Structure 1
Amino acid sequence: MTAGTPAARPAPAHNDAARQYYEHASAPRTNTDVVVVEALRKEYPDLHLSVIPRQSCNLFAYAAAGHASMASIDKEKDRLSWRAFIPPSNRLHGERGALSDVVKFAKYLLDWQGKEYVMCFAEGRDGGGSYPIIANQYVLSASVEATNKLLFEAGAWTNELHDEIWVYDGGFWRKDAELYANVKKSHWEDVILDEGMKKAIISDVDTFYDSRDTYERLRVPWKRGIIYYGPPGNGKTISIKATMNQLYNRSPSVPTLYVKSLSSYMGPEYSINTIFTLARRTAPCYLVFEDLDSMITDAVRSYFLNAVDGISKNDGILMIGSTNHLDRLDPGIAKRPSRFDRKYLFPNPSEEERTMYIKYWQSKLSDNEDLDFPDKLCPAVAKITPGFSFAYLQEAVVASLLALARDNHGFAEQLCLECMNAHKKLEGYGSGAVCPDRSERPFKGLYDWMWTVRQADQEDPDLDNCALWREIKKQVRLLKEELGEEQ
């Protein structure tokens, strides 16, 4: 060692943690169950041991819901967990998140109906070729009967919905409480549709669930399929949500199973089988495939058709599929009555329906004393928005409200009919207004002629003094440009 060179730090005599880790990670085959079961049987030789997968019977969730109590009984050095930061579900309420333990291995004392159980939880490997992760609970008690009773009640609770909706996404089912809360706010009175079609949809759904005896008496399968189709933004999704709420308000309630996406990793056969297995087990139920055309591709079609119309019974399943492109659906799906018996077209709204939609917004904003929203504005907006979907109408209204709200004096702004921009001050108003940006408009004469021809029958002195009407006209013009309509 040369002068000035620091001495090397001596290596530890042994590194047991590293040795154990590499031995475990490089083993040709590992099975966590074998290790844990053997250790627990030695530790508790007089107790009965049961191994329960968490996904089918979640004792942690069962206890957290107040049906049992759990307390840790191992020492901190014997416990393995991750300390994780959980982001807030919604920052609007000032939440910043929280720290939480993600348990990998731990032992608990579980108290249920006056009986005590030892419960060990371990996350590990099942020994398969691809080494999938398993999460098992190991329950020890004095008798098999006591354990079975606990597991039956906890298992039944785990597989029931508790203000939740089943959502299939990425290859597995999960319970979604947030979607359920959103659905409970969706009501048919908020859905603007042709009244005849709305009544038919509501009746179709109720009649199906009320007619089980009729189906059985006629010896036909108690199942039904409906397709909602038409251009986007015209009420298909809100109608599905309103139906979900309608069914949850029945007695007994009918649960919804919502298919968000299929699993590309697991394969189409696995996804379709998993979806319909839960639907048959949950029936009677409402099974929703939104954007059906993008989900049931050529690779999936045969599995889907077999699940819908194959040997297995689908009694009690009302299946709904929505699509913006009916022509992209295979004829075996779109035109075979035994699969989808009824189709409802959701077209762009008529002028009458557009008027109803603007009236809906007028009602929503009726408590806003600062906003002038006269009755005659509703048909006026409907008249200048032919070809608009409900989504485009909503954008026109919302964008107008936001534009007015940007400025404390927004309600005093005037819309320039030349440049379609709002100005605080104009010399004159209406057709005689002088635009401060007029020098920048090279086709002023042509535009003025077109505007005069197309807007002459829409002029109303009362409306021209309404800031919301002026702003809506501006937003409608912008949306028409987006749609590619000539001005």
Structure 2
Amino acid sequence: MTGGSFTAESDLAGHRYFEHSSGKRINTDTVLVEALRTQYPKLELIVTPCGLVDLLAYASAGFAQYTPLEDSVKDPVYGVSLRYRAYIPAGRRLDHGGGFMAENLTFGKFMYKWKDQEVILYIAEGRDGGGYYPSIKNHYILTSNSHRVDELIRDATIWGRELHNEVWVFDQGWWQKSAQLWDSVQKASWDDVILDDDMKKALQTDVEGFFDSQETYQKLKVPWKRGIIYYGPPGNGKTISIKAMMNSLYQRGTNGDKRMSVPTLYVRTLSSYMGPEYSLSQIFGKARQEAPCYLVFEDLDSIVSDNVRSYFLNEVDGLKSNDGILMVGSTNHLDRLDPGISKRPSRFDRKYYFANPSYAERVQYCKFWQGKLSDNKDLDFPDKLCDSIAEITDKFSFAYMQEAFIASLLAIAGHGGKDKHQSERDARRWAGPQDPMHPIELRFRDEQYLFGGGSEDPDIKHLELWVEMQKQVKILRDEMEEKKLSERMEAMFPSQPPSGPAEVRDERLPQALPPSLRPGSETLRDYETRLKAIAALFPQQQQSETPGGIMHAPDWSDAFRRPM
């Protein structure tokens, strides 16, 4: 077959498509099939959905060739293509890259060559009155050898299902390939994960060992499936551990490794136009198809809500086989998970607690930053500074430590070449007294350091990074205290009434607050302000602690009799 043999005054399929699309639409497939069979009576017609196989993408990857046949028709109106062209700007100006022209094909005709076969290929998109969203786009293939076309469809479909430096991500109700997440995962390494060495080794052994133990599970006559939960305060390495594990699993089956490759399926949300139950069906259906696989539910407590818990458990424990699926769920709040998920061994049978880093781990994290900044000759970062920063960041998560480093470095960069004392004077001049980022006076530096613990080393006292770090640590520690205060106030004055009888811990607590101290009042909008107002009414009274560790509130009865 050659393109020249199809030269004509008009293309019947193109004519019918445009004619049909200009009026009431009933069934686009029927119209095109009728037109193509009339125009090419000696060729066999095969129709296959573009949603299952993308022949143009397969050809663009180098496995076939295609040539547009637009010049084969002389009709200036009813040609054989309908395209939308647009310029896509660069994603980021900082990348210094230009954009590109993109094209959306609605209707087109091509000569398609694969191996020793040439076929005529039409691609048409159509949404009909009785059709559903999204619209359907199909390939219409005209050939004299249908068996070879079946082979083409098979090979192109298999290629399309494979990952090409991508990660399967479920979002908004459908699976999509993410090259961006793949790039992020490639940067994640176990060398960058700062955890107890034994725990880090256990994390890797648990997952790698599962995928290497199919025969062991079969011999023991138990399903080859597992579930693991990572939990603990936010910012302590759950996400980076998952990414490092993903990277390790992608190395299997490469560079001479004979082990079976293990793809990751990453679930972002169950939200979809068909509802969360449909999403769970799609998620586990894909996991069974791709098994063995690493199925990731990040923030498991927010993904699996009470509304879909039963459906989720049915997918996990139901009649369908989940062999080869290792689920990992991360959560900052293990207590929010249903006990049927968190405490049932056959579902998530292993848990790892990611605690706030110890002193040694904080020192190690500081050395990580020391290595990152080693090529900056303008910034002094001696080993002693690692120990000192670790001392003042007690009870900090890795995320808070990262924030302290980034904020400190941004402050240093913000000096803009000025003398640092001049920069601080400028900041004080414009920041105002209520600015939480107001620079700390130098005379308070010793007090600030003692607040975090330890004594200041005179060798680092005037280092720029150390001065800025103390400021940022103080700000972050205040933020931590405010968060704890807010949680205590929420417990004392819940925004929603409890479902059951309220537990009164101290009979001296008032049963009702004055109007000015009630939630939603004009006088006091938030819990923190309410607490300060209450404390101001009886400054002479303090909380006391019994030997048993139970906190007792002061007698507030007189305070609430005072006018506000």
Give the TM-score band, short-chain normalised. Answer: 0.7 to 0.9
- Equivalent residue number for residue 467 of structure 2: 470
Looking at structure 1, the residues matched to 124 and 360 of structure 2 have their Cα atoms a distance apart, in angstroms, of: 62
| The one of 395, 403, 413 aligned to 2:420 | 413
Looking at structure 1, the residues matched to 133 and 250 of structure 2 have their Cα atoms a distance apart, in angstroms, of: 40
1:86-119 per-residue CA deviation (whole Å, 9 max, x = no partner) reads: 2323332223422221100101111111211111
- Equivalent residue number for residue 23 of structure 1: 23
Secondary structure of 1:78's counterpart equals: coil
Secondary structure of 1:298's counterpart equals: coil
1:307-356 per-residue CA deviation (whole Å, 9 max, x = no partner) reads: 11110011111111111111111111111111111111111111221111
Looking at structure 1, the residues matched to 371 and 326 of structure 2 have their Cα atoms a distance apart, in angstroms, of: 34
- Mapped contact 2:404–2:469 kept (Cα < 8 A): yes
1:241-266 per-residue CA deviation (whole Å, 9 max, x = no partner) reads: 00000100112321111111113321
Secondary structure of 1:340's counterpart equals: coil
- Equivalent residue number for residue 372 of structure 1: 380
Looking at structure 2, the residues matched to 332 and 279 of structure 1 have their Cα atoms a distance apart, in angstroms, of: 22
- Equivalent residue number for residue 50 of structure 1: 46
Looking at structure 2, the residues matched to 330 and 383 of structure 1 have their Cα atoms a distance apart, in angstroms, of: 38
Looking at structure 2, the residues matched to 85 and 449 of structure 1 have their Cα atoms a distance apart, in angstroms, of: 58
| The one of 276, 281, 285 aligned to 1:268 | 276
Looking at structure 2, the residues matched to 52 and 22 of structure 1 have their Cα atoms a distance apart, in angstroms, of: 24
Distance 1:78 1:207, change over 3 A: same
**Distance apart, 1:18 and its partner CA:** 12
1:125-147 per-residue CA deviation (whole Å, 9 max, x = no partner) reads: 36646464111111121111111
Structure 1 residue identity aligned to 2:83: S
Secondary structure of 2:63's counterpart equals: coil
Looking at structure 2, the residues matched to 192 and 278 of structure 1 have their Cα atoms a distance apart, in angstroms, of: 33
- Equivalent residue number for residue 4 of structure 1: none
1:179-200 per-residue CA deviation (whole Å, 9 max, x = no partner) reads: 1111011000001112121111
Secondary structure of 1:139's counterpart equals: strand
**Distance apart, 1:449 and its partner CA:** 9.1
Secondary structure of 2:252's counterpart equals: coil
TM-score (norm: length of structure 1): 0.86
User: Percent identity among equivalent residues?
Assistant: 53
The worse-fitting range, judged by mean Cα deviation, of 216-225 and 39-48 is 39-48
| The one of 94, 97, 108 aligned to 2:96 | 94
Looking at structure 1, the residues matched to 449 and 104 of structure 2 have their Cα atoms a distance apart, in angstroms, of: 68
With a CA cutoff of 8 Å and minimum separation of 6, indicate the structure with the bigger relative contact order.
1
TM-score (norm: length of structure 2): 0.74
| The one of 90, 103, 123 aligned to 2:105 | 103
1:381 aligns with 2:378: no
Report the RMSD for the aligned CA atoms in angstroms. Answer: 2.9
Looking at structure 2, the residues matched to 316 and 20 of structure 1 have their Cα atoms a distance apart, in angstroms, of: 49
Secondary structure of 2:35's counterpart equals: helix
Secondary structure of 2:459's counterpart equals: helix
- Mapped contact 2:446–2:456 kept (Cα < 8 A): no
1:216-365 aligned at under 5 Å gives the runs 216-251=218-253, 252-365=260-373
Distance 1:451 1:318, change over 3 A: closer
**Distance apart, 1:367 and its partner CA:** 1.7
- Equivalent residue number for residue 176 of structure 2: 174
Looking at structure 1, the residues matched to 304 and 452 of structure 2 have their Cα atoms a distance apart, in angstroms, of: 46
Structure 1 residue identity aligned to 2:188: S
Secondary structure of 1:286's counterpart equals: strand
| The one of 8, 31, 35 aligned to 1:35 | 31
Structure 1 residue identity aligned to 2:61: A
- Mapped contact 1:163–1:180 kept (Cα < 8 A): yes
- Equivalent residue number for residue 401 of structure 1: 409
**Distance apart, 1:85 and its partner CA:** 2.7
